[in-house]
Amino acid sequence: MNLHLLQDFREDTLKSSYENLTLFPASHTSHGDTRILLLREEGASYLLSYGAGPLFDDLQGDVTEGVKISPANHENRLVLNRFFPYTAPVANVEKRTSMGLGDRLGLATYGHIHALKGTKVFPIFAQQSIRELTMTNRTYEDVIDAAAYAVFAEGYTSGYGADGDHLKSKADILKELAIGATMITLDSSEKIDNTILDLDPKTLEERYQLLSEGTRGYYENQYLGKETDLPGLSLPIGKEQLMRDVLTYGDSISFIHEVYEEIILPYEAPLDFEISIDETATPTNPISHYIIAKELKDRGIVISTMAPRFIGEFQKGIDYKGDLTAFREDIKAHVAIAEHFGYRISVHSGSDKFSIFPIVAEETHGRFHVKTAGTNWLEAVEVIAEKEPALYRRLHAHALLRFQDATALYHVTTDLSKVPALDTVEDKDLPEYLRNDDARQLLHITYGYILEDKNEKGDYLLKNDFFKALEKHLSHYFFHLEEHISKHLRFLSLK
């Protein structure tokens, strides 16, 4: 550590910059008789503290020149949370319009905070699914740690959340609540029977008759021959539609009920509870949404947001594919249901869906939740394309090598024939790959392989070089993120 920095910090005469160090002036604050500051050096973050008192004593680290140098690890994050409560994630108790800002690299929150300045958006800075954690070899503790340190570094005191995203089991929910999640997105897709949608009427009836008489009688008394009858939405519920919905969603409703009764309701701290029904083979019929919503309310289940699957294509990292007029009518119906039952609509795979953002803002009356994640990874890749062309070529080549493997995990319609061959593109034109939808998807869905693949000796093929290069151009990455997320916010009428 730079001894001049330590002396200057101790004497409270910090300069604007020091060799090989990145200072975060907004973090320079005090608690009691202890002053504290966050900085980065050679790809790692540290807390500097000076003085005396409980904060100084509780931080783990070594003392040099009277200054304690503490690694930005999990244990010290918990210390920060105690002494600076704004660094700990909280639930969105004010029910503000919110945005999920997943950070696969542990560095994006700095840029997200810059983008959010001047808005009233409630951000979910810590948001990662089990799949994303597995693909990046991270833990949920890592995700919250990274968000908390960025919040401290930037002096962001407006509150942020931590989403245990797309959780499918009670065990995973309990684990992430214990770690500090303030939002649970329950993905009941494994309890949704997508095969029902393709059944012919005769087979459908046969399957329906296999249900108990009590189950059939309950749903028929509740819904058969009735209408949704909501302001701006009146849809008749016929026998065939009811049978399909009961068979498709019945088990998922029961699972949601179990999770709520066993975990969510007894949980003592405020908690945002989202229901995801977007992982289905076809768009969510508004009648299906209505039946699910009414069942949840009748069973006393309170949710914050619900994510239906809208019509059109919500593919990763690119704009919406579909008829915008039809989308407007679709979301209008879903919003009518959500508003009637008292929750907000959530839009998943929301990265870069600029063409529908104005519609989302208008039809939801500015009350919604949008999830983004992969777009932050793509901004990092674009920085590499701009600043480190040789490394970018290696990333791109590896993405091509692993593309078919990645398609087993992500639904995309990528046409690799529309991605120009690497040997035909000059270095100065490499960033254009990030403006090509097919290339964006190629690079988007292969992130885990790019970051985690190793050679026969067990050494990372690309990860270390990638992070070293990104660290070298960190301020440029933050600028990219601020510009890109600000564009999302502008199109959503939030900035």
Q: Among candidates 108, 154, 157, which has minimal Cα distance to 483?
A: 108
Residue from 132, 145, 187, 274 carrying the catalytic annotation:
274
User: Which residues contact residue 487 at a Cβ distance below 8 angstroms, ignoring those fewer than 6 apart?
Assistant: 354
The reply to whether 75 falls in a domain is yes
Instruction: Please say if the pLDDT value at position 71 is more than 90.
Output: yes
Q: Which of 82, 117, 142 is at the close of a domain? A: 82
Q: Tell me the per-residue pLDDT of 78-121, one tens digit each, with 9 for 90 and over.
A: 999 999 999 999 999 999 999 999 899 999 999 999 999 999 99
The reply to whether 465 falls in a domain is yes
| pLDDT-derived band at 280, boundaries 50, 70, 90 | confident
Question: How much is the average pLDDT of 455-475?
Answer: 96
Q: Which of 62, 82, 102 is at the close of a domain? A: 82
| pLDDT-derived band at 434, boundaries 50, 70, 90 | very high
Question: How much is the average pLDDT of 250-278?
Answer: 97
Q: Among candidates 344, 276, 265, 288, which has minimal Cα distance to 314?
A: 276
316 is known to lie in a ligand binding site: yes
CB 482 within 8 A of CB 154: no
28 is known to lie in a ligand binding site: no
Q: How confident is the model at residue 17, as a pLDDT?
A: 83
Q: How confident is the model at residue 279, as a pLDDT?
A: 84
Long-range contacts: 489-494, Cβ < 8 Å, 24+?
489/99, 489/115, 489/116, 489/119, 489/121, 491/354, 491/357, 491/358, 491/361, 492/357, 492/358, 492/360, 492/361, 492/370, 493/358, 493/361, 493/362, 493/366, 494/97, 494/99, 494/119, 494/120, 494/121, 494/361
Question: How much is the average pLDDT of 149-169?
Answer: 97
Provide the percentage of residues in the chain whose pLDDT is more than 90: 93
Q: Tell me the per-residue pLDDT of 183-206, one tens digit each, with 9 for 90 and over.
A: 999 999 999 999 999 999 999 999
The reply to whether 164 falls in a domain is no
Q: Tell me the per-residue pLDDT of 281-292, one tens digit each, with 9 for 90 and over.
A: 889 999 999 999
The reply to whether 231 falls in a domain is no
Q: How far is CA 81 from CA 106, 175, 252, 377, in A?
A: 18, 19, 36, 27
The reply to whether 287 falls in a domain is no
Tell me how far apart the alpha carbons of residues 279 and 130 are, in angstroms, rounded to a whole number: 15
Q: How confident is the model at residue 321, as a pLDDT?
A: 96
Q: Which domain holds residue 75?
A: 3-82
| pLDDT-derived band at 10, boundaries 50, 70, 90 | very high
Residue from 165, 379, 382, 438 carrying the catalytic annotation:
165
Is residue 227 flagged as an active site residue? no
| pLDDT-derived band at 43, boundaries 50, 70, 90 | very high
Q: Tell me the per-residue pLDDT of 203-237, one tens digit each, with 9 for 90 and over.
A: 999 999 999 999 999 999 999 999 888 988 999 99
Residue type, 127: Q
Q: How confident is the model at residue 374, as a pLDDT?
A: 85
The reply to whether 263 falls in a domain is no
Residue type, 358: P
| pLDDT-derived band at 397, boundaries 50, 70, 90 | very high
Q: Which of 65, 82, 99 is at the close of a domain? A: 82
348 is known to lie in a ligand binding site: yes
Q: Among candidates 314, 321, 319, 310, which has minimal Cα distance to 353?
A: 319
Is residue 274 flagged as an active site residue? yes
Instruction: Please say if the pLDDT value at position 411 is more than 90.
Output: no
Question: How much is the average pLDDT of 64-70?
Answer: 96
> What's the chain's average pLDDT?
96
The reply to whether 385 falls in a domain is yes
Q: Tell me the per-residue pLDDT of 315-357, one tens digit each, with 9 for 90 and over.
A: 989 999 999 999 999 999 999 999 999 999 999 999 999 999 9
**Structural domains of the chain, count:** 2
The reply to whether 445 falls in a domain is yes
